[in-house]
Amino acid sequence: MTETPTGDANADDNLDSGSAIGRRRDLAQSKGSQAYQQRRREIALAAGNVFYERGYADTTISDIAKGLETDRATLYYYFTNKQEIFDAVVSELAEADVTYAEQVQASAEPPLTKLRQLVTGLMNSYGEHYPLLYVYVRENLAAVGDERTVWSEQMRTVNRRYDTAVTAVVQEGLDDGTIRPLASARVLAFGIIGMVGWTNRWFAPERSAEDAETIGAAYADMVVQGLATDPTTSAG
């Protein structure tokens, strides 16, 4: 988990609740039907491809509509603007990754086994939700506009929780002697997170020779075998 998107919304990329479509959207959201919520999720996931190709800041509602082969009115029935499209799913996915990491950290497994689970879990999440989480990784949280301050601070908190969970696992291994003291727990943890996150530069499920599961397993082997005090351990 790393960065989050900027709030560079174009003037025509917002439709407030006062419009006819806005009122219909508000009514549909208040009813909370499963079909409506499912369609919102499908749109947000599909929009991830447009964000990934154009970059979050340069993407407009019109771009998303074109990419999804629909019209802007349809999108506005489900979302107010592109920020809401992005936030709706990214917040959920990022929170799920953090919850998983915290559960791994709290488990009774040995530290090296936990590291394996963390590496494979994050890579599998990147693959399963491609490319939306990669857009999240690529964008610059520091450049988020004032209108997204609350959301960006929430995501900073999510990022910190993830970093803390991984760092705690590494520290546990340093403390019990199963991980070599090559550097501080923070440095080692950030190296692990960065290694997996860097796949955003080259991994695409439809083009890569290896799938996310294979890559995650290979990276986990590298981490475990590289850090283990006992080089014969598999921790798997």
21 and 128 in a common domain: no
What is the model's pLDDT at position 135? 87
- The per-residue pLDDT for 57 is 82
pLDDT of residue 40: 87
Q: Is residue 135 part of a domain?
A: yes
Considering the domain architecture, whether residues 30 and 122 belong to the same structural domain is answered as no
Contact criterion met (CB below 8 Å) for 192 and 223:
yes
Contact 99, 163 (CB under 8 A): no
| Per-residue pLDDT at 145 | 59
Q: How many domains does the chain have?
A: 2
Domain extent for 113: 89-227
Average pLDDT over residues 141-159: 72
Q: Answer with the residue of higher pLDDT: 145 or 168.
A: 168
Residues 159 and 103: their CA atoms lie apart, in Å, by 15
Listed range (38-42, 113-117, 161-165, 232-236) with the worst mean pLDDT = 232-236
Query: Please, which pLDDT band fits residue 11 given cuts at 50, 70 and 90?
Result: very low
pLDDT at position 2 is: 45
Structural domain ending residue among the three candidates 25, 53, 83: 83
At residue 210, does pLDDT exceed 60?
A: yes
Mean of the per-residue pLDDT values of the chain: 86
43 falls within a domain: yes
Indicate whether 133 and 26 sit together in one domain: no
Residue 81 forms beta bridges with which residues? 14
Same domain, 78 and 127: no
Pseudo-torsion of CA 35, 36, 42, 44, nearest 10°? Answer: -160
Same domain, residue pair 93 and 79: no
pTM over 0.85: no
Sequence-distant (6+) residues with CB within 8 A of 102 are 161, 165
Query: Based on the domain organization, do 55 and 115 belong to the same domain?
Result: no
> pLDDT tens for residues 166-196?
999 999 999 999 999 999 999 999 999 999 9
pLDDT at 16: 54
Mean pLDDT of 43-51: 88
> Which pLDDT value is given to residue 185?
99
Which positions ≥6 away from 111 have C-beta within 8 Å?
169, 170, 172, 173, 176, 178, 179
What beta strand segments (E) does the chain contain?
Answer: none
Give the span between the Cα atoms of 84 and 79, in whole angstroms.
6
Of 77, 37, 32, the residue nearest 65 (C-alpha): 77
Higher model confidence: residue 150 or residue 73? 73
